[in-house]
Amino acid sequence: MHHAVRHADGVTQFELTAGAGTVTVTVHDASPLPPRPQPLDATRPGGFGWQLVQDLSIGVRVQVHASGKTMTAVVPRPTRALPQG
């Protein structure tokens, strides 16, 4: 969402959907420009969000349409409770 706020004039819609062992994150924004990977540079903040989304997800899709774009990422989630401690 930070990318949509910073680079695409804001989020127009945000959805979270729980599935069997996954969470699907869908973000709609008003920019038709697809996300672009940035070169990693330890001397400046940011620039790694899109790579992080791709690394953490089991599926990523970007759909460009007349009113902007929709980015969907399917993220695995634990299917059982984590131990306390």
Q: What are phi and psi of 18, to 5 degrees?
A: -85, 135
Mean confidence (pLDDT) of the chain: 84
Q: Report residue 48's pLDDT band, with 50, 70 and 90 as the boundaries.
A: confident
Cα-Cα-Cα-Cα dihedral of 6, 12, 68, 50, to 10°?
40
Q: What is the mean predicted confidence (pLDDT) over 18-26?
A: 94
pTM here is: 0.75
Q: What is the arithmetic mean of pLDDT over 55-84?
A: 89
Contact 4, 29 (CB under 8 A): yes
Let me know: does 59 contact 76? Beta carbons within 8 Å: no
Predicted pLDDT of residue 4: 45
